[in-house]
Amino acid sequence: MSQTIARPFLKMPPPFLKMHGLGNDFVVLDARAHAFELTPARIRAIADRRTGVGCDQLVVIMPPKGQVSDATMLIYNADGSEVAACGNASRCVAWLLIQESGRDTVVIETKAGLLDAESRGDHLVAVDMGQPRLDWRDIPLAEPGDTLHLGVAVGPLADPVGVNMGNPHAVFFVDDAEAVDLATFGPVLEHYALFPERANIEVAQVLTPLDAALGRIRMRVWERGTGITMACGTGACATLVAAARRGLSPRKAEIILDGGTLTIEWLPDDHVLMTGPVATSFSGTLDSSLLS
């Protein structure tokens, strides 16, 4: 994990934005003008919902590394671990960059690659999340296996589909997503031996027939390093890809999350397009007690 961002904290604590995409919430720090140091302990302190600001992930906007992107985005889970991709955070950062630049399109550099984003109206953003990675080495798995039918079973959950959308996902199809005790089975599956880098766990209930023009899938998620969240953009993308691969859904569907709905389309060029809203809750300045 990258533990240090540029140089030590400035004397004045940095400002932040609290943002969310369908309830998946973030503390967003802009390190382009004011570089600072982050450690896992500081990330956990900021993310703590009782004594810090509180968030699912902490997001840092960095200067672009080349001529192609508008900015670089770093993403950290509430436990301090770094992740390469986050769909809802990508929309939030894209919206900030769109407002800042006055353009309708921006490019964000992440550790999962370059993401093209486009404004689709007031606080609505579409992001090209790239191509899903489906080989067992890409998930990654601890041993060779068929990613369309992983040999994983815990309690009532079995036979998931493995998808990497910049981070690893295991998608379980169930008859009733609401009935699954995700708080019990999520942490066990996250740390399942087959997933050396842990995994995000989705339970998905397909609500429409395969021949529907637009699919609808109810999905709930346990995110590695965070727990149950209101929404997960990469998880929604992984769920649509998994459902299409299984022949359960068309390649475009509404993914209904605890916090709202994302529209996901697996395009003919194999890229996955995610469209959904963003919101800003409040802004503030981090107290020095969170930075010790």
**Which residues are designated catalytic?**
86, 232
Number of other CB atoms surrounding residue 175 within 10 Å? 9
Q: Whole-angstrom Cα distance, residue 224 to residue 198?
A: 7
- The H or E element that residue 59 is part of is strand 57-62
Single-letter residue type at 167: N
83: buried, middle or exposed (CB in 10 Å: 19+, 13-18, 0-12)?
A: buried
Number of other CB atoms surrounding residue 47 within 10 Å? 24
Q: With H, G, I as helix, E, B as strand and everything else as coil, classify residue 95.
A: helix
Give the end-to-end CA distance of the chain in Å, rounded to a whole number: 20
CA 130 to chain CA centroid, Å, is: 13
DSSP letter assigned to residue 286 = -
209-214's contacts with Cβ under 8 Å and 24+ in sequence apart are 210/247, 210/248, 210/249, 210/250, 211/250, 212/249, 212/250, 213/250, 214/250, 214/252, 214/253, 214/254
Tokens of 125: 């953003």
